[in-house]
Chains A and B, each alone.
Chain A
Amino acid sequence: MAYLSRLTLTNFRNFVALELELPPGVVALYGANAQGKTSLLEAVYLLAIARSFRAENEREVVNFRAAREGQPALVGGILRKEKDGEQVAVYVGYQGVNNPGVNRPGTPEQPAGPGGGPGYSVRKQIRVNRVRRTAAQLVGTVGAVLFSADDIELVQGAPAGRRRYLDILISQGNPLYLRALQRYQRVLRQRNRLLRLLREGRAEAGELEFWDAELVREGAGLTWQRGEAITLLAGLCAEHHRNLSRPGETLRLEHRPSVPAGASREATEAGFREALTARRRRELAAGSTALGPHRDDFKLLVDGVDMGVYASRGEARTLALTLRLAEAAYLAQLRADEPIVLLDDVLSEMDAARRRRVLEQIAGYHQSLITTTDLAPVQDFFGSNATYLHIDGGAVR
């Protein structure tokens, strides 16, 4: 059991200075649009996954006035573990840097400009209990699941979104996974560049050997771990789907790895190596890596029908909710403490029956933060068993 007992924001989006004590249980954050409700959840989720879930470029999170004055943006949180009262302080800071273009020889001259201008970028600094950490070391410290209105893309969108869903889910349960993923991505970039150099006759074929071996080793590991995660997730999804959908329907999750997952990790490696060799000529022609976890996907099948293609908007919404509820259940099973559940304005688009089922599920978790413009549905369900905070113009009242 763990919950976020304190959230401190400095120059984060429209919160210039905020110190917020949070209780366990259900916390409803209500207020009109554009007052900072989503930014609060963004900050909490940032402490879990070490990056903003909605910023195109993370420099956006620095309050524009602070950026202009060269001030940093800070997000701090205290995770309180109920069992032994242990507290973990997590911290993510963004220091803005105005690169006056002269900094890197060869890059086009950029105006030194005010903060937020074209030359402005941010350096991220992460600390856990005041010790400097990397993103990969932070992830897994605070467990969180975010429900957002964009989740429908998990069902109807491109495979990249589903890979990201899996990666965040597995990383929060197993800290080694993110390290392997980062290493794989680096191998992939190096290998792609080498394939292009080979195509242009600027490298020798023998140079591929190391990158092939690493691609296969890390890639097979990722494929294997994703397969295992999907197996566990599939059961949880089926269960939650029964709760939310029409009776009699069965949801199945099907892993569609780019490289077939074998009977074991070693078998997966062998299969990957073989498939890679078979594609050698095509890869050289294309100048990019044709196979591997960066091409994985999974399918959502309801009674055998591919919901990525055939789901109605309503069905897709229900499936997205299912995926998130299953994610929370997955983390509750694999982690020492339950995830914090974050609901970003998703209640308004549900019918009353689904809303009740979702809120019932949420109520089972140790802490959940819910943003909404309309307080009535939350109040009707939780009454005085929830905490209500009014968000207004970058402040909590």
Chain B
Amino acid sequence: MTLEHLPSAAPSLARLIQELNKLPGIGPKSAQRLAYYIIRLPDGEAQDLADAINAVKQSIIFCRECQNLTDANPCSVCANAQRNREQICVVEDPLDVLALERTHCYRGLYHVLHGVISPLNGIGPDQIKLKELFPRLSDGAVKEVVIATNPTLEGEATAMYISRHLAGSNVKVTHLARGLPVGGSLEYSDELTLSRAFQGRQEV
């Protein structure tokens, strides 16, 4: 018997499916599959999952410095004395920090905006963590802000807002390069990427 044929008189199951269905990337079918999987889990494991969800909601906070998600305040990056305190890399969300950390080539600090400027979604500069960024730059310790927002229209709008705001200050504002993926081939890249890459060409 598949779940679709379960009588509707299983309200607790319907509730679980409904809650899972609210998650990003989880459609009705996947929600049913996950719920079915959870039902078959040993009691302990299902409890562990529920506990983990509870714990994360209770202990995760925003780092008072970089606004990244953390359970220590300040977070481990901001507390690390080995990090270069003259550079701040501005990213859209916590996953971008993880991606940059995996490269092991950036040793500065971060600032997580938790979003980008998008009037359509009612998100202006005040709705993301920008007002927390500018005070970090006021004491002159930070020499460079590296903007690493995504190369989308909204990411670019956010980048431009930051660079305009810092124009005239002593902070150098840079932007991650756009262009060809490593291991890619000119022939298969689209025209826009290629023209951007051309504009951002470098002397070798």
For residue A197, CB closer than 8 A to chain B, the reply is: yes
State which of A102, A194, A209 has its C-beta within 8 Å of the C-beta of B21: A102
Closest to A183 in B: B153
B22 in contact with A105 (CB, 8 Å): yes
Q: How far is the CA of A214 from the CA of B155 in the complex (A)?
A: 13
Q: Contact size class for A?
A: 20 to 34
Known contacts A137-B190, A190-B153, A191-B119; is-contact A210 B28 (Cβ 8 Å):
no
Q: Are A203 and B28 in contact (CB under 8 A)?
A: no
B residues in contact with A335, CB < 8 Å? none
CB-based A-B contact count at 8 angstroms? 59
Question: 1/0 per residue A88-103: CB within 8 Å of B?
Answer: 0000000001111011
Question: Which B1-56 residues have C-beta < 8 A from chain A?
Answer: 18, 21-22, 27-28
Tell me the smallest distance from the CB of A79 to a CB of chain B, in Å. Answer: 19
Q: Is B94 an interface residue, CB under 8 A from the partner? A: no
Pick the contact of B28: A100, A105, A193, A213 (CB < 8 A): A100
Residue B104, interface by CB 8 Å: no
B120 touches A189 (CB 8 A): yes
B102 on the interface (CB 8 Å rule)? no
Interface string of B171-192 (1 = CB under 8 A from A): 0000000000000000000111
* A308 smallest CB distance to B (angstroms): 34
- Report the bound CA distance from A102 to B28 in whole Å: 9
Q: Are A103 and B27 in contact (CB under 8 A)?
A: yes
Q: Are A103 and B21 in contact (CB under 8 A)?
A: yes
Hey, what's the 0/1 contact readout for B68-79 against A, CB within 8 Å counting as 1?
Answer: 000000000000
A343 within 8 A of B: no
Q: Please, which residues of chain B bring their CB within 8 A of the CB of A100?
A: 21, 28
Chain B interface size, under 10 / 10 to 19 / 20 to 34 / 35 or more = 20 to 34
Instruction: Say whether B118 faces chain A, with CB atoms less than 8 Å apart.
Output: yes
- Rounded to whole angstroms, the CA-CA distance of A194 and B124 in the bound complex is 9
Bound form: Cα–Cα A84–B66 in Å: 58
A334 at the interface (CB under 8 A from B): no
CA distance A175 to B192 in the complex (A): 10
A82 / chain B contacts, CB cutoff of 8 Å: none
Are B125 and A209 interface neighbours, CB within 8 A? no
Question: Which residue of chain B has its CB nearest to the CB of A175?
Answer: B191
Verify if A150 is at the interface (C-beta below 8 Å from B): no
Chain A residues in 8 Å Cβ range of B192: 176, 179
Q: Are A102 and B18 in contact (CB under 8 A)?
A: yes
Bound Cα distance from A191 to B118, whole angstroms: 9
Query: Is the CB of B156 closer than 8 A to any CB of chain A?
Result: yes
Cα distance, A333 to B133, chains bound together (Å): 54
Cβ contacts under 8 Å, A191 to chain B: 119
A108 is an interface residue with CB less than 8 A from chain B? no
Indicate which residue in A179, A183, A189, A204 contacts B125 across the interface (CB closer than 8 Å): A204
CB–CB B120/A206 < 8 A: no
Report if A388 contacts B (CB, 8 A).
Answer: no
User: How far apart are the CA atoms of A99 and B160 in the complex, in Å?
Assistant: 38
A211 located at the interface, meaning its Cβ lies under 8 Å from any Cβ of chain B in the complex: yes
The reply to whether the CB of A132 lies closer than 8 angstroms to some CB of chain B is no
CB-CB under 8 A for A203 and B21, given A183-B153, A197-B119: no
Residue A187 at the chain B interface, CB threshold 8 Å: yes
| Contacts A97-B27, A176-B191, A197-B119; A209 near B164 (Cβ below 8 A) | yes
Interchain CB contact under 8 A, B119 and A193 = yes
In whole angstroms, how far apart are the Cα atoms of A176 and B160 in the complex? 24
Is A228 part of the binding interface, using a Cβ–Cβ cutoff of 8 Å?
A: no
Answer yes or no: A19 CB below 8 A from chain B CBs. Answer: no
Contact A193 B120 (CB under 8 A): yes
Name B119's contact: one of A98, A190, A214 (CB within 8 Å).
A190
B157 at the interface (CB under 8 A from A): yes
- B116-130 contacts to A, CB under 8 A, are 117-120, 122, 124-125
Query: Knowing A98-B28, A191-B119, A193-B119 touch, does A211 contact B157 (C-beta < 8 A)?
Result: yes
* B124 CB to nearest chain A CB (Å): 5
Out of A97, A99, A190, A210, which one reaches B161, CB within 8 Å? A210
**Chain B residues within 8 Å of A102, by CB:** 18, 21-22
| Least CB distance, B55 to chain A, in whole angstroms | 24
| Cβ–Cβ < 8 Å partners of B125 in chain A | 204, 207
**Which B residues are in CB contact (< 8 Å) with A190?**
118-120, 153-154, 157
A214, B153: Cβ atoms closer than 8 Å? yes
Question: What CA separation (Å) do A56 and B119 show in the bound complex?
Answer: 28
Can you add 6 more A-B contacts, CB < 8 Å, to A179-B191, A183-B153, A214-B153?
A99-B28, A103-B22, A190-B119, A197-B124, A207-B124, A207-B161
> Would you list the 9 A-B pairs with minimal beta carbon distance, nearest first?
A194-B119, A193-B119, A210-B160, A210-B157, A102-B18, A193-B120, A190-B119, A203-B124, A176-B191
